[in-house]
Amino acid sequence: MKQLYTVIFFLMVAVGFSQESQQGGDIDGFKLYPNPTISGKIYITTADNAPKTIHIFDVLGTQVLKATILGKELDVSNLDKGVYILRVLEKDNVATRKLIIK
């Protein structure tokens, strides 16, 4: 039953983010690594390498981290182990990915 709720949640989040991202497209050259991460740091690179606003949500949809980065490194060491939704905004473009922290 818990798995069913998790699947339904991810579908709802995906639909919500896809509706919001219609104003811009996916970010060109978007790369997120390492994923899954064990080091407490993730790296986000794009073709433009412009400042990025990062939102991280837990599986319940609660925002657990919001940050703006100028480079490519983001510290996620304060997050618990688990599965998260990562949303990156750069200029008018949005990218949404699953982030796993081990």
Rounded (5°) CA angle 19-21-23: 105
- The number of domains in the chain is 1
pLDDT tier at 21, thresholds 50, 70, 90: very low
Strand partners for 37: 101
pTM here? 0.75
| Domain housing 46 | 2-101
**What is residue 46's three-state secondary structure?**
coil
Q: Alpha helices of the chain — where are they, by DSSP H?
A: 2-20
H/E stretch holding 63 reads strand 63-69
Mean pLDDT to the nearest integer, 40-45: 96
Provide the residue count of the chain. Answer: 102
- Residue written as tokens 């970010």? 27
Q: Which residue has the higher pLDDT, 25 or 57?
A: 57
Q: pLDDT at position 89, please? A: 97
Residue 76: CATH number of its domain: 2.60.40.3080
